[in-house]
Structure formats: C-alpha cells, structure tokens
Amino acid sequence: MPETDATVAAAAARDLRGAFLAAVDHVAAVVARDDVAAGWDTPSALPDWSVGGLVAHLASQPVIAVDLLRAEPWPEAIALDEHYARSAWVRAGLDDDVNVSIRAGGDAQATAGRNAVLARVSEARAVLPELLAAQPADRAVLIPWAGWALRRDDFLTGRMMEVVVHGEDVAASLGFDSPHLPDEVLAPVLALLTRLAVRKHGQGAVVSALSRAERAPRTISAF
C-alpha cells in the first residue's frame, strides 16, 4: 500500500534524531553560561549535588549517546516505560548506592572544570549528525548499566528527558531562566513524564493537578 501524506508525517514525527541535536544545543547553551562557570563549586538546588557535578551530569547526556550509539546493536529492546519501571534509581532514596554513584560520577567529571566539560559536549555535537543519520528506527541501543536495550527513539527520549529536567535544575540552582526548548524536544519529554506520573499517582491525580487547582494533589512528580 502506498504511503499517504499522513503516514509520512506520522513517521517523521516519531523520528527524534533532529530533536536530539536540538537538545544537545540546549545543553551547550546552559553549560556555556558565565554564571555556570562562576558557580561551579557552589551547592546546587538538588541535595548533595554541587553545581559543577550537576552540570557535568547534564553534559554527559550527549557523550553517553555517542558512546552507546557507536556500540553494536542489541538483538531486542524493551518499552520505554518498562525501562523506568525496572530502573533502581527511580525508587531509590537520596543515600542509596545507585544515587550516590550517580552523584559521584558527576562530581568526578566536574573536577576537570567547566571548559573541559563544555569541550566534551562540543565534541559529541560534532559527531552526532552523521552518527544519528546512520541509526535506523528499529535499532536497539543497549544501556549497559541497566542490562537491557531501548529502541532508537525511546533511547533518545530518555536522554532528552535528562537534558530537560537537569537543565531546569541548573537554572533553578543559579537563578536564571532555562533557554527555550523547541516543541520537538519538549513534547516527547512531557508525554513521558505524564505517563510516568499517571503510573505513580493515578489518572485522577494527574488530571486534577493539570485542570483543577482546588483539588490538585501536593505532587504529581514522575519520580
């Protein structure tokens, strides 16, 4: 059956390779700020994170993407929402090993300083267009620390979620407005966070929080 315009448009909408490049540009814009460099060693808005450690964690997302997309494809993948249902850090407390390890990784990368962290983002951005162009939609990307794989756009959505959330964390830490995100980045991230919030809090809580201030619950945080 020949493809209709709607079919082609729907396929294009699901292709997040261009959106991911926009997300990496967002990372670079945040990391390059003068106030980020000036506040590198100060506490962030997140408990037990320095600004530098938090920014280094944000900046690691495109680097991780390059490393994992260069690896061999995996034979099978799980659904994105199942990935978060299985991930230990989602349910872990602040002082649990998995979250301590994540913070330690950010702190270790931050010791190189802001300019080195920004350079790694720039290096990843330079190779990503060609690397992403070679990634088919059914490509399963292994996440080695998890032990399972995600399909290409699910993997990219997960990385973009980290970019969007931690970009706002950095902005809140230093008191600036995060750079505007294009819809192609924000829409899949908000869709993911909404689904995870519904799973955690229930449909009614999320709908009420979004539509009825008088009966909104205290939180509908996805994590």
- What was the pLDDT predicted at 2? 44
Contact between 14 and 156 under an 8 Å Cβ cutoff? The reply is no
Q: 11: pLDDT confidence band, cut at 50, 70 and 90?
A: very low
Hey, is 140 helix, strand or coil?
Answer: strand
Two tokens, residue 111: 């010791």
* Cα distance between residue 155 and residue 149, in whole Å: 8
The predicted-structure confidence for 127-184, as pLDDT tens digits, reads as follows 999 999 999 999 999 999 999 999 999 999 999 999 999 999 999 999 999 999 999 9
Q: 6: pLDDT confidence band, cut at 50, 70 and 90?
A: very low
β-bridge pairing 148-151 and 140-143:
antiparallel
Q: Is the pLDDT of residue 10 over 50?
A: no
Rounded to the nearest integer, the mean pLDDT of the chain is 93
Two tokens, residue 176: 């600036």
pTM above 0.85, yes or no: yes
* Alpha carbon of residue 133 to chain centroid: 20
Q: Is the pLDDT of residue 3 over 70?
A: no
> Which domains, and CATH codes, for the chain?
5-180 (1.20.120.450)
